[in-house]
Homo-oligomer: A and B are copies of this chain.
Amino acid sequence: MNPEQAYLELVRLSRDETRLSSCLDLLEWDEEVAMPRGGVEHRAEQMAILAGLVHDRGTDPRYDELLSTVEASSLVSDAESPQAVNVRVLRRSFDRECRMPRRLVEESARVTALASQAWAQARERDDFKTFAPWLERVFALAREEADAVGYVGERYQAFLDEYEPGLTLAQLQALFRRLEAALVPLANSVRVERPPPATDVLVREFALERQPVFAREVAAALGFDLECGRLDVGQHPFCTIIGPGDIRIVLRYYPHDFARGFFALLHETGHALYDQALDPAQYGTPMGEAASPALHESQSRLWENLVGRSPGFWRHVYPQLLKAFPEPLRDVSMETVRGAVNRVVPGPIRAQADEVTYDLHIIIRFELERALLGGDLRGADLPGAWAELYQRHLGVKPADDRTGCLQDGHWSEGMIGYFPTYTLGNVYAAQLFAAAERAVGPLDEAFAAGDFRTLSRWLGEQVHRHGRRYTAAALIERVTGSAPEPSALIASLSHRYRSAK
């Protein structure tokens, strides 16, 4: 087989594997959105079987043969060509996949399907005890996985390699230290200089049945194509790509906390816009995938915060909001709403945190998951350790486990080491947004005019269309002129939260 033929066959293999794997994504979406409770054990078995088959495909020895043929050819001589990118990333995935035992792959799929349900029920009932054994099992499997795939330094690195390839634990820790050093004093001074209003005007009754209708309108206005996607209600917000033309946002709404549902919408729409902008012709190959989970979070955090908390955005959205929810907003001006969505108040919930204290929530999770993974913290001891870190970093005490260590579903889904991608996303988002404004001019007026296309087109051109051509770090450097580093984030937060008194 010549290299050209080998490359085509490689693409075919990769595409088929991705399609099969996308069936798992649908099963996961369904588990969160539709599946009746009685279906959970069967679902876990379905996931285990499919995960095993995806693994079989991902470790097919033909990959090795085909990759070797193409790697030795001139097809990969330009490192930025689709061929070179696809071969490079597929080689990495294949090697990693081959180190994973099939039994572990099946078991992880089965256990996380069950653990997710156990988490949802434990949170509903504020009953950490029933979840603790699942947490132990998930972390035990994660340890096995790290040991199987290998890592430099400590086990946590194995997951960083997956969620942000190229990033070392030491770099991440340095980033966290620098952010903490800047954000803690910033949060303190904002609290003194701009004390938040005593009551939050968005903590009023916003009719539950109207929130999804409003969410659809806003998602569409931001550019989400509803012919190629949908919005649903689930246990917790997420966005998933089932395939080209089928991107799904899942949200949860709260009758007395409008902002919680609404900013989750903006966040997930940010993810969805990335997924909808990927090239469908490249589907099933690295060139048709997002650069990294952390870069994906840069898009969600960008739309959530840099768009969603801007004056222009609210000039555009406030009249629509008022029309959809006239009762709770009858005595509330646009400026008051904007003040409410820009309050800086340390609180117990990550997903509701303001931009300034948000990364402190991530630091807490990073420390805890490292300790759980390393075996320094037992699952059963999580609530105490959680409370202690919240006290230390944010000065708050969660009222219960539901708003404490049971608030996030990531660990139950096996997403260990994922939390840092949010902070990386914040860092990248600030760099990208500044670069966008340097390139196309200030965006606030555009937002006020309902023009979100200028921004999304720039992102599509600079970021989305490249798939995995560059690592996230290389892409950020290429697009913004600087390697990833937090000064743009710190500057953006200082500027917006200190000066705009």
Which residues does A use to contact B, with CB under 8 Å? 16, 19-20, 22-23, 26-27, 30, 34-43, 45-46, 49-50, 53, 225-230, 232, 242-246, 283
- In angstroms, Cα B244 to Cα A23, docked, is 19
Task: Please tell me which one of the listed residues B27, B37, B245 contacts residue A36 in the complex, with CB atoms under 8 A apart.
Answer: B245
User: A26-B27, A34-B232 are known contacts; what are 10 more A-B pairs with Cβ within 8 Å?
Assistant: A19-B42, A19-B49, A20-B46, A20-B50, A26-B30, A36-B246, A39-B228, A41-B244, A42-B242, A53-B53
Q: Which of A22, A38, A43, A243 has the most CB of B within 10 A?
A: A38
Contact B49 A246 (CB under 8 A): no
Q: Distance (Å) between the CB of A263 and the closest chain B CB?
A: 24
Task: Please tell me which one of the listed residues B34, B53, B243 contacts residue A39 in the complex, with CB atoms under 8 A apart.
Answer: B243
- In angstroms, Cα B244 to Cα A37, docked, is 11
Contact B46 A19 (CB under 8 A): yes
- The 4 lowest CB-CB distance pairs between A and B, nearest first, are A39-B246, A38-B245, A42-B243, A38-B228
- In angstroms, Cα B327 to Cα A396, docked, is 54
Please judge, given known A-B contacts A19-B46, A43-B243, A46-B243, whether A227 and B26 are in contact too, CB under 8 Å.
no
**Can you name the residue of chain B whose Cβ is closest to the Cβ of A283?**
B42
Contact B228 A36 (CB under 8 A): yes
Contact A229 B38 (CB under 8 A): yes
Provide the residues of chain B in CB contact with A42, threshold 8 Å.
Answer: 19, 22, 242-246, 283
- In angstroms, Cα B38 to Cα A229, docked, is 7
Contact A46 B22 (CB under 8 A): yes
- In angstroms, Cα B39 to Cα A227, docked, is 9
- In angstroms, Cα B16 to Cα A225, docked, is 37
Contact B36 A226 (CB under 8 A): yes
Contact B23 A245 (CB under 8 A): no
- In angstroms, Cα B69 to Cα A394, docked, is 67
Please judge, given known A-B contacts A30-B30, A243-B43, whether A50 and B23 are in contact too, CB under 8 Å.
yes
Provide the residues of chain B in CB contact with A22, threshold 8 Å.
Answer: 42, 46
- In angstroms, Cα B230 to Cα A37, docked, is 10
Provide the residues of chain B in CB contact with A26, threshold 8 Å.
Answer: 26-27, 30, 46
Task: Please tell me which one of the listed residues B27, B230, B232, B242 contacts residue A23 in the complex, with CB atoms under 8 A apart.
Answer: B27
- In angstroms, Cα B246 to Cα A41, docked, is 10
Provide the residues of chain B in CB contact with A16, threshold 8 Å.
Answer: 49
Q: Distance (Å) between the CB of A56 and the closest chain B CB?
A: 10
* 5 sample A-B contacts, Cβ–Cβ < 8 Å, listed by A number: A38-B229, A42-B245, A42-B246, A43-B243, A53-B53
- In angstroms, Cα B228 to Cα A37, docked, is 6
Contact A227 B36 (CB under 8 A): yes
Provide the residues of chain B in CB contact with A243, threshold 8 Å.
Answer: 39, 42-43, 45-46
- In angstroms, Cα B246 to Cα A27, docked, is 13
Contact B244 A36 (CB under 8 A): no
Q: Distance (Å) between the CB of A208 and the closest chain B CB?
A: 14
Provide the residues of chain B in CB contact with A35, threshold 8 Å.
Answer: 242, 246
**Can you name the residue of chain B whose Cβ is closest to the Cβ of A284?**
B45
- In angstroms, Cα B27 to Cα A226, docked, is 20
- In angstroms, Cα B46 to Cα A30, docked, is 16
Provide the residues of chain B in CB contact with A36, threshold 8 Å.
Answer: 226-230, 245-246
Contact A19 B45 (CB under 8 A): yes
Contact B242 A37 (CB under 8 A): no
**Can you name the residue of chain B whose Cβ is closest to the Cβ of A41?**
B245
Q: Distance (Å) between the CB of A40 and the closest chain B CB?
A: 7
- In angstroms, Cα B270 to Cα A107, docked, is 36
- In angstroms, Cα B245 to Cα A225, docked, is 34
Provide the residues of chain B in CB contact with A229, threshold 8 Å.
Answer: 36, 38
Q: Distance (Å) between the CB of A17 and the closest chain B CB?
A: 9
- In angstroms, Cα B54 to Cα A49, docked, is 11
Q: Distance (Å) between the CB of A239 and the closest chain B CB?
A: 14
- In angstroms, Cα B228 to Cα A144, docked, is 34
Q: Which of A22, A39, A245 has the most CB of B within 10 A?
A: A39
- In angstroms, Cα B244 to Cα A36, docked, is 11
Provide the residues of chain B in CB contact with A30, threshold 8 Å.
Answer: 26, 30
